[in-house]
């Protein structure tokens, strides 16, 4: 068993054009004042971090680590979700995803995908220079619009999508292997890797690639009605990142998991600030400790009601209260007594008898 590290804070929902959220030094100071021990840095946010410079400059990486250390912080991981999303884009999402890429690449899907791949490779190098062993991402999606289609999916469509997804990702996984970095896919609705079965489909096609791993976020499983505690046991060997994010699912006679095209606040399934939803975090932290999870517990704030500043302050304390400092001895050891082989045989009633 192992004591989980934390709390870390995912910065994607906190970076802003306004101080103190518009630079890494000022944001780090704010995070430390709110009780965090680490930061999870979004590698696409140039206000905070230049992934291309970090990939090539050890001094740049050392300076960042030194600055954070002055605040009592470390980097838990880099995340590359935007780059991962652009690795596989269904035509229905072309215009929306174009806005996530440099303006010069818009309208050119092949160039956009190649750019995203290059950014992922840079992030893997940067992670290595920063002394990190895990990196979070999205898989992107080619098949998601066909998850519940009518007319029905033609035979072979999903298989073709996953074959292509694997072809695109294998060079990135190989590059991560060269850098000693595990690529952790956030299992997320909207992505082709959205549950256990879809992850297994992908993993098998990669040849069970050792760098193909999971970022666990239970909020997405509440909305899917998937048993996330069982999931922790099934995939314990490949879960290497953990987002502490809450959610609730309250279906009615008018809507269920699809939400009827409602806004977040009006959906049956919605994200809540940590501790305000239905996720069994006591069960999750217990399972992770039991399963020897070696990583960080990272707050990802997303809530349709509470503001992110209260969510961060409360979330840091919530994580601290839920981290189990694992025991180093068995609770009934006090009653143990040394027993000889002969006594063991007597206890079993075998007394050295041979059949």
Res. 335: pLDDT tops 80: no
Res. 351: pLDDT tops 90: no
CATH number of 5-348: 3.20.20.150
- DSSP 8-class letter at 328: S
Q: Tell me what the mean pLDDT of segment 105-110 comes to.
A: 95
CB atoms within 10 A of CB 316: 22
Q: Tell me what the mean pLDDT of segment 215-239 comes to.
A: 98
Distance between CA atoms of 54 and 50, rounded to whole angstroms? Answer: 6
Can you name the residues that pair with 8 across neighbouring β-strands?
38, 298
User: Quick one: pLDDT at residue 352?
Assistant: 62
For residue 186, which phi and psi values (nearest 5 degrees)? -75, 120
Res. 355: pLDDT tops 90: no
For residue 10, which phi and psi values (nearest 5 degrees)? -80, 125
Exposure string of 32-55, with b = 16+ CB inside 10 Å and e = fewer, is bebbbbbbbbbbbbeebbbbeebb
Domain spans of the chain? 5-348
Residue 202 · residue 187 · CB < 8 Å:
no
User: Quick one: pLDDT at residue 353?
Assistant: 65
| Each residue's pLDDT tens digit, 63-89 | 999 999 999 999 999 999 999 999 999
Distance between CA atoms of 257 and 87, rounded to whole angstroms? Answer: 27
H or E stretch covering 301: none
Q: Could you tell me the CA-to-CA distances from 70 to 14, 31, 163, 232 in Å, in that order?
A: 21, 13, 46, 35
pTM for the model stands at: 0.93
Highest mean pLDDT: which range of 290-299, 323-332, 334-343: 290-299
CB atoms within 10 A of CB 87: 24
Residue 196 · residue 160 · CB < 8 Å:
no
Helix (H) and strand (E) counts in the chain: 13, 10
With a CB cutoff of 8 Å and minimum separation 6, the contacts of 261 are none
Write the DSSP assignment of 39-98 as a string of letters: EEEETT-TTT--HHHHHH-HHHHHHHHHHHHHTT-EEEEEE-HHHHHTTSB-GGGHHHHH
């Amino acid at each position: 068993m192992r004591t989980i590290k934390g709390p870390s804070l995912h910065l994607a929902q906190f970076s802003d054009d306004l101080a103190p959220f518009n630079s890494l030094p000022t944001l780090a100071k704010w995070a430390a004042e709110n009780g965090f021990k680490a930061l999870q840095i979004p590698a696409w946010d140039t206000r905070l971090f230049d992934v291309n410079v970090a990939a090539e400059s050890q001094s740049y990486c050392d300076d960042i680590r030194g600055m954070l250390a002055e605040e009592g912080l470390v980097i838990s991981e880099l995340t590359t979700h935007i780059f991962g999303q652009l690795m596989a884009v269904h035509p229905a999402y072309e215009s929306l995803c174009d806005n996530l890429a440099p303006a010069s690449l818009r309208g050119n899907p092949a160039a956009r995908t190649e750019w995203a791949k290059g950014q992922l490779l840079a992030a893997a190098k940067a992670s290595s220079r920063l002394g990190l062993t895990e990196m979070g991402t999205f898989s992107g999606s080619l098949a998601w619009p066909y998850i519940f289609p009518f007319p029905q999916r033609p035979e072979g469509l999903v298989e073709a999508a996953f074959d292509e997804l694997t072809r695109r990702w294998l060079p990135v996984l190989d590059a991560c292997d060269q850098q000693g970095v595990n690529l952790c896919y956030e299992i997320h609705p909207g992505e082709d890797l959205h549950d256990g079965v879809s992850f297994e489909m992908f993993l098998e096609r990669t040849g069970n690639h050792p760098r193909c791993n999971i970022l666990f976020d239970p909020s997405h499983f509440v909305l899917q009605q998937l048993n996330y505690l069982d999931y922790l046991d099934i995939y314990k060997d490949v879960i290497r990142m953990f987002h502490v994010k809450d959610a609730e699912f309250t279906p009615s006679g008018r809507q269920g998991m699809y939400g009827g095209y409602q806004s977040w606040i009006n959906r049956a399934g919605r994200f809540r600030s940590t501790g305000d939803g239905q996720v069994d975090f006591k069960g999750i932290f217990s399972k992770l400790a039991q399963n020897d999870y070696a990583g960080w517990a990272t707050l990802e704030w997303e809530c349709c009601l509470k503001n992110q500043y209260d969510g961060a302050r409360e979330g840091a304390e919530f994580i601290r209260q839920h981290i189990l400092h694992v025991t180093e001895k068995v609770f009934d050891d006090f009653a143990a007594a040394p027993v000889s082989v002969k006594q063991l045989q007597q206890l079993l009633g075998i007394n050295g008898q041979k059949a």
